[in-house]
Structures are given as structure tokens and as C-alpha cells.
Amino acid sequence: MKREILVCPKCSTYTLEQNCQKDNTKTISPKPAKFSIEDKYGKWRREYKKNVQD
């Protein structure tokens, strides 16, 4: 069984569990997405970021 550090998106608590013990939310990996030169969704991500900042 592989153990890794996970984070709760609601309360930002770090844990090794699949669900946060404070609010029972599913935890996610705190690691950023892997970088790729051939980013298939880069155009859409940049367009979204540009529109959100306006």
C-alpha cells in the first residue's frame, strides 16, 4: 500500500487518510500537475486565467 501526504481542499489540513477527519471531505494530492511542453490544455488554461483576472 502506497502512502502519500494528502490535503483537504476545504480546511487545508494535511493527512495520510483518503477523507479529512475534520469535515469528512475527500482529500486530494497537494502536488502540482506534471509539466509538459506539449500541454494539450495550456491554451484553455491561459484563456481562463486571463478572463478570471479581468
Q: Residue 54: what pLDDT? A: 57
Task: Give pLDDT, residue 1.
Answer: 60
14 close to 7: Cβ distance less than 8 angstroms: yes
Please report, for the chain, the start and end positions of each structural domain, with discontinuous segments joined by +. Answer: 1-30
Low-confidence ranges of the chain (pLDDT < 50): none
The pLDDT of residue 6: 95
Phi, then psi, of 46 in degrees rounded to 5: -65, -40
C-alpha triplet 32, 38, 44: angle, nearest 5°:
70
